[in-house]
């Protein structure tokens, strides 16, 4: 008799976004005339920039032309995109080669697929509060998860400790949900730890483009020693509004070797077996992001979201509420005032001022008592939410 992957039965149901939508539905049924100020979503709201749209149109036309038509793309990515991403790194002083860059259909796909490179007996360390996919993708494979709680006392950026044992280490900086960032020193401690133990860091850099402080690393490969212990997973979703267009990239250095196995070679083999590459049209659109005009245009959109963050940070400063994130990140993670729990605070904001955020408890037990605001909404709604927060909480 066939046995399904029984590890799926070990998955904890995530009620977070379902609960939120149910509460909103119930509220709007009772109060149909009320407008909500939504700061819970992790999706972007601004459209793709002009450079990307132009490149996408041109690529569509290529596909209709006998001379310029493209069939299958090379599985690890089109050379034009791998090289412009390689340049993007080298232009910031990070010395990687084009064949260390792999094009993907987005960071989520990659975060799941990359686990093929690790034996099922390897265990995974997840720093919490965390993006839920890290835990779930490993539970599906039957891996043991080591939960490392972080908190206000370490600014949600914990350091490795002597007694810690783990094979796969997830680090997300700037972090979702906390918005916290790892400094070079903090990251170096994890890099040294991984090299000493033979672990591999999966560095999720989905929000690197939001970093504005010069001394905060945007790539783990800015840290000495990282090439022998890290894989970096990136996405154009938040950087350039590709959530619905789908494109990401992953950097696997050739120097990353364990027990004689080179992870870069393994990933080439994996991609050529399990994918047929990302669409030519989308890769053309993605390449436009890395041109100088594209960079200028995406930065304007990022600044728009960051101005939203500045508005909320100012309101929280005035109210004396503790928070992290916002500066190098599109998320603000705050301590619920007056000792309220995450869901109590959610209810209070929804019922009293029609502001919607995300309860921190949904990102791991240590998120209880915290709350996440996302900055991807409109300026008008964000400004109104800030005013309402000030009136309610002062």
What is the smallest separation between the CB atom of 79 and ligand PLP, expressed in angstroms? 22
Stretch that binds ligand PLP, among 106-114, 219-227, 254-262, 265-273 (CB under 6 A): 106-114
Q: Would you say 107 or 355 has its CB closer to ligand PLP?
A: 107
- Pairwise CA distance, residues 59 & 245, whole Å: 14
Residues 81 and 336: beta-carbon distance below 8 Å: no
Residues 123 and 159: beta-carbon distance below 8 Å: no
Which of positions 21-60 make contact with ligand PLP (CB under 6 A)? Answer: 42
Position among 20, 49, 85, 107 found at the interface with ligand PLP (CB under 6 A): 107
Instruction: Give the CA distances from residue 29 to residues 21, 226, 237, in Å, rounded to whole numbers and listed in that order.
Output: 12, 52, 33
Phi, psi of 325, rounded to the nearest 5 degrees: 80, -170
What is the smallest separation between the CB atom of 272 and ligand PLP, expressed in angstroms? 22
Nearest to 170 by CA among 142, 197, 146: 146
Q: Is 178 in the site for ligand PLP (CB under 6 A)?
A: no
- Pairwise CA distance, residues 91 & 77, whole Å: 20
SS3 content of the chain, % helix, strand, coil (to 5): 45, 15, 40
The strand ranges marked E within the chain are: 37-38, 101-104, 124-128, 145-149, 168-172, 200-204, 230-235, 248-251, 257-258, 261-262, 323-325, 331-335, 355-356, 358-359, 370-374
Stretch that binds ligand PLP, among 56-64, 72-80, 100-108, 284-292 (CB under 6 A): 100-108
Return the residue matching tokens 């791998």. Answer: 82
- Pairwise CA distance, residues 79 & 62, whole Å: 17
Nearest to 92 by CA among 171, 191, 186, 209: 209
What is the smallest separation between the CB atom of 172 and ligand PLP, expressed in angstroms? 5
Residues 104 and 248: beta-carbon distance below 8 Å: yes
Tokens of 193: 């730890």
Q: Is 176 in the site for ligand PLP (CB under 6 A)?
A: yes
Stretch that binds ligand PLP, among 104-112, 179-187, 292-300, 341-349 (CB under 6 A): 104-112
Q: Would you say 39 or 172 has its CB closer to ligand PLP?
A: 172
Burial of 195 (0-12, 13-18, 19+ CB in 10 A): middle
Q: Would you say 258 or 290 has its CB closer to ligand PLP?
A: 290
Return the residue matching tokens 């990070």. Answer: 94
Q: Would you say 206 or 353 has its CB closer to ligand PLP?
A: 206
What is the smallest separation between the CB atom of 242 and ligand PLP, expressed in angstroms? 7
Nearest to 385 by CA among 350, 355, 351: 355
Position among 40, 248, 294, 330 found at the interface with ligand PLP (CB under 6 A): 248
Position among 52, 81, 101, 206 found at the interface with ligand PLP (CB under 6 A): 206
Residues 334 and 340: beta-carbon distance below 8 Å: no
Stretch that binds ligand PLP, among 103-111, 159-167, 214-222, 268-276 (CB under 6 A): 103-111
Q: Would you say 208 or 353 has its CB closer to ligand PLP?
A: 208
- Pairwise CA distance, residues 302 & 51, whole Å: 15
Which of positions 224-243 make contact with ligand PLP (CB under 6 A)? Answer: 235, 237, 243
What is the smallest separation between the CB atom of 288 and ligand PLP, expressed in angstroms? 17
Position among 118, 131, 193, 290 found at the interface with ligand PLP (CB under 6 A): 131
Nearest to 106 by CA among 278, 286, 247, 240: 247
Which of positions 354-373 make contact with ligand PLP (CB under 6 A)? Answer: none
Q: Is 245 in the site for ligand PLP (CB under 6 A)?
A: no
Position among 73, 172, 240, 312 found at the interface with ligand PLP (CB under 6 A): 172
Q: Would you say 204 or 354 has its CB closer to ligand PLP?
A: 204
Position among 51, 108, 178, 219 found at the interface with ligand PLP (CB under 6 A): 108
Count, residues near ligand PLP per rule CB under 6 A: 13
Position among 76, 86, 106, 377 found at the interface with ligand PLP (CB under 6 A): 106
> Where does this chain bind ligand PLP (CB under 6 A)?
42, 106-108, 131, 172, 176, 204, 206, 235, 237, 243, 248
């Amino acid at each position: 008799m066939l046995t399904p992957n029984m590890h799926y039965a070990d998955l904890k149901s995530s009620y977070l976004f379902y609960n939120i939508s149910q509460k909103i539905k119930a509220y709007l049924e009772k109060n149909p005339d009320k407008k909500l100020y939504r700061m819970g979503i992790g999706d972007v709201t601004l459209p793709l920039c002009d450079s990307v749209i132009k490149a996408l149109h041109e690529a569509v036309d290529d596909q209709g032309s006998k001379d310029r038509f493209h069939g299958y793309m090379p599985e690890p990515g089109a050379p034009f995109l791998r090289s412009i991403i390689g340049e993007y790194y080298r232009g910031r002083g990070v010395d990687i080669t084009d064949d260390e860059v792999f094009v993907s259909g987005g960071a989520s796909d990659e975060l799941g697929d990359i686990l093929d490179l690790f034996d099922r007996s390897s265990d995974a360390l997840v720093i919490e509060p965390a993006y839920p996919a890290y835990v779930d993708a490993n539970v599906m494979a039957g891996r043991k998860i080591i939960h490392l709680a972080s908190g206000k006392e370490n600014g949600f950026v914990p350091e490795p400790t002597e007694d810690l044992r783990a094979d796969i280490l997830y680090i997300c900086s700037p972090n979702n949900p906390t918005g916290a960032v790892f400094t070079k020193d903090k990251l170096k401690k994890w890099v040294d730890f991984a090299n000493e133990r033979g672990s591999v860091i999966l560095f999720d850099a989905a929000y690197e483009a939001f970093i504005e402080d010069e001394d905060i690393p945007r790539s783990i490969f800015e840290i000495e020693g990282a090439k022998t212990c890290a894989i970096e997973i990136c996405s154009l979703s938040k950087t350039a509004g590709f959530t619905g267009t789908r494109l990401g990239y992953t950097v696997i250095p050739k120097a990353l070797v364990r027990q004689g196995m080179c992870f870069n070679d393994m990933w080439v083999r994996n991609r050529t077996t399990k994918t047929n590459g990302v669409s030519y049209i989308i890769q053309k659109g993605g390449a436009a992001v890395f041109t100088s005009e594209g960079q200028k245009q995406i930065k304007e959109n990022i600044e728009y979201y960051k101005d939203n963050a500045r508005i909320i940070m100012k309101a929280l400063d005035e109210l004396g509420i503790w928070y992290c994130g916002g500066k190098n990140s599109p998320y603000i993670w705050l301590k619920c005032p007056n000792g309220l729990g995450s869901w109590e605070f959610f209810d209070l904001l929804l019922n009293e001022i029609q502001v919607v955020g995300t309860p921190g408890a949904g990102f791991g037990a240590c998120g209880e008592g915290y709350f996440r605001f996302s900055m991807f909404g409109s300026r008008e709604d964000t400004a109104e939410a800030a005013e309402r927060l000030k009136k309610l909480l002062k």
